Structure formats: structure tokens, C-alpha cells
């Protein structure tokens, strides 16, 4: 099935048509910059531009950076609290003129990695972590998704862990890979104590640099880099549409 996948990040919307059987993008992805926080008007306009760029009339899956339950948006991180409580499916349906389904953005990336990437065939407990502006997470057991597991928001010293160990923190503080890994190790230790994963997939932009910091990481679980890279969110958003058909 061909579905337009759109991944909403803290600074841009990225989208492309996806063949959900192969996990391949059917065209070069299109990117539209947004502000952070982002207004409804700016966000839906970016989605409209992506749909129009591909002249899309079919189903659209959207990975949204926040809690998603059905069509409604719950707690939101960097995109802004103005999205909380909104009917996201209705907003983006009006913008694109297409049938729309939303899911949590990290869940979307996890779905892609479990079907086509580093988690393929794994039946134990798998935790995918996306290190970017914050820390997104997707939790699977025996191949089934536990939705909206916002493990980046687990508190640490009074603040969410993502403000201590996110990739954006490394850039802002100009941390070396070893110094950043020290922070990540604290976070991984808490995740292992709570969830006891068999496999941890390190995603987000830093997954491309995995060899540079792997030697500094400590974990009882097997640690591997994500394989889908920047396409995971787009592919996973498309897969979430099909998952909605089965649920």
C-alpha cells in the first residue's frame, strides 16, 4: 500500500510517499521548516505544502511529537502546549484534504525499525530511543507496541531526563562524546532498572555517529544503532496507518 508519511519534528515537517510492503520511499522526501513552539496555522500549513508537493490524494500517516490517543493530542513537548487537546486528525485532514491518522512520532520510528530495521525479528523487550531535541521512546514486547511510552520525560533531579541527556544538550554544552555518554549511561541505567529490555536501539541523528560513542556506553542490554536513520519517522507514520486498520 502507498501512504504519504509525514514526520513532525521540533524544527521541521518531513514527508514522502511510502511503499509499506518494502519500507521504501517512493520519492525524495520534502522538508518544510517550522518554528518551535509552532502554531496550529503554521503546522497545518506545512503539512498542506507537503501534500501539495506530492499532489497527494490518498491516506496520510503523521508522526506527532506528543501523546496521541485516537484522534486527540495529549501532552506535547517542544511543539507547544497550544496543541494539547486538539483533534489532530481533523486539523490535518482539513489541511491536506486527505484521510489522516496520527501516532506518536517515536512510536512511528519504532514501528519502522521493528519491521525493516534493527529490531526486525526480535521477540523480547525492545526499547528504541531517539536522541534529538528531546529523547523519544518506543517500547515493544514480543513485537507489540506499548503506545505513548514517553520515557524521555522520566524525571531526573526535578527535570525530564531529556533535558539532561538529549542530543541537543550535547550540542548546547559542547560536550565531548565521552562526557555526553556519561549522561546517557545514567539514563540507560534507569531505563534498564525500570524496563529490563533485551535490546536498546539508539536512534535519532546521533545514530549515524554510533561508532564514535559506543565504547563509552554501559548497558546490560544489547545496544545497536538504528538502521532507518532519517527515514524512520516517515516510514513508521505510514505503517501506523495500516496498524490503525488492524486495531
Check whether residue 138 and residue 168 sit in a common domain: yes
**Do 84 and 36 belong together in one domain?**
yes
Given this model, what pLDDT does residue 132 score? 86
Tell me how far apart the alpha carbons of residues 153 and 174 are, in angstroms, rounded to a whole number: 23
Average pLDDT on 45-69 reads 96
Any bridge partners for residue 30, and if so which? 15
pLDDT, one tens digit per residue, over 42-54 is 999 999 999 999 9
Residues 9 and 74 in one domain: yes
Model confidence at 246, in pLDDT bands (50, 70, 90)?
A: very low
Cα distance between residue 1 and residue 243, in whole Å: 12
Q: Cell 535519532 identifies what position?
A: 204
The residue segments making up the domain with residue 181 are 118-227
With respect to residue 112, please indicate whether it lies within any of the assigned structural domains.
Answer: no
pLDDT in tens, 162-219: 999 999 999 999 999 999 999 999 999 999 999 999 999 999 889 999 999 999 999 9
Give the position of cell 521548516: 33
CB 43 within 8 A of CB 13: yes
- Report the CATH number that the domain containing residue 7 is assigned in CATH: 3.30.420.40
Residues 31, 123 within the same domain: no
Per-residue confidence band for 247, with pLDDT thresholds at 50, 70 and 90: very low
The mean predicted confidence, pLDDT, of the chain is 94
Candidate from 70-84, 101-115, 192-206, 208-222 with smallest mean pLDDT: 70-84
- Report the C-alpha gap between 181 and 166 in whole angstroms: 10
User: Considering the domain boundaries, does residue 110 fall inside one?
Assistant: no
Q: 38-51 as b/e, with b when 16 or more CB fall inside 10 Å? A: beeeebbebbbbbb
Quick one: cell of 165?
Answer: 541527556
Q: What is the pLDDT of residue 125?
A: 97
Same domain for 241 and 206, yes or no, is no
Calculate the CA 59 to chain-centre distance. 20
Higher-confidence position of 39 and 10: 39
Asked whether 184 and 109 are in contact (CB, 8 A), the reply is no
Provide the whole-model pTM: 0.93
Q: Residue 71 and residue 87: Cα distance in Å, rounded?
A: 6
Name the residue with cell 505503517: 239
Q: How many domains does the chain have?
A: 2
Secondary-structure breakdown of the chain: helix, strand, coil percentages, each rounded to the nearest 5:
40, 30, 30
Kindly state whether residues 15 and 28 are assigned to the same domain: yes
Band of residue 104 on the pLDDT scale cut at 50, 70, 90? very high
Nearest Cα to Cα of residue 188 among 215, 150, 210, 161: 161
DSSP secondary structure, 5-55, as one string: EEEE-SSEEEEEEEETTTTEESS--EEEE--SS--HHHHHHHHHHHHHHTT
Amino acid at each position: 500500500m502507498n501512504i504519504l508519511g509525514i514526520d513532525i519534528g521540533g524544527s521541521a515537517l518531513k514527508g514522502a510517499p511510502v511503499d509499506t510492503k518494502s519500507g521504501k520511499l517512493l520519492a525524495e522526501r520534502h522538508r518544510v521548516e517550522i518554528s518551535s513552539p509552532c502554531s496550529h496555522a503554521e503546522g497545518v500549513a506545512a503539512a498542506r505544502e507537503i501534500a501539495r508537493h506530492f499532489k497527494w490524494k490518498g491516506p496520510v500517516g503523521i508522526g506527532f511529537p506528543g501523546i496521541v490517543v485516537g484522534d486527540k493530542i495529549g501532552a506535547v513537548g517542544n511543539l507547544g502546549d497550544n496543541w494539547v487537546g486538539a483533534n489532530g486528525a481533523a486539523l490535518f485532514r482539513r489541511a491536506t484534504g486527505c484521510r489522516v491518522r496520527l501516532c506518536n512520532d517515536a512510536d512511528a520510528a519504532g514501528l519502522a525499525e521493528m519491521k525493516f530495521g534493527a529490531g526486525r525479528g526480535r521477540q523480547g523487550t525492545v526499547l528504541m530511543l531517539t536522541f534529538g531535541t528531546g529523547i523519544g521512546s518506543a517500547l515493544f514486547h514480543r513485537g507489540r507496541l506499548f503506545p505513548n511510552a514517553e520515557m524521555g520525560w522520566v524525571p531526573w533531579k526535578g527535570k525530564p531526563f531529556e533535558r539532561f541527556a538529549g542530543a541537543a544538550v550535547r550540542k548546547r554544552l559542547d560536550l565531548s562524546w565521552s562526557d555526553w555518554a556519561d549522561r546517557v549511561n545514567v539514563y540507560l541505567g534507569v531505563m534498564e532498572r525500570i524496563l529490563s529490555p533485551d535490546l536498546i536501539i539508539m536512534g535519532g541523528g546521533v545514530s549515524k555517529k554510533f561508532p564514535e560513542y559506543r565504547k563509552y556506553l554501559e548497558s546490560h542490554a544489547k545496544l545497536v544503532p538504528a538502521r532507518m536513520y532519517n527515514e524512520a519517522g516517515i516510514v513508521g507514520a505510514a505503517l501506523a496507518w495500516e496498524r490503525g486498520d488492524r486495531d
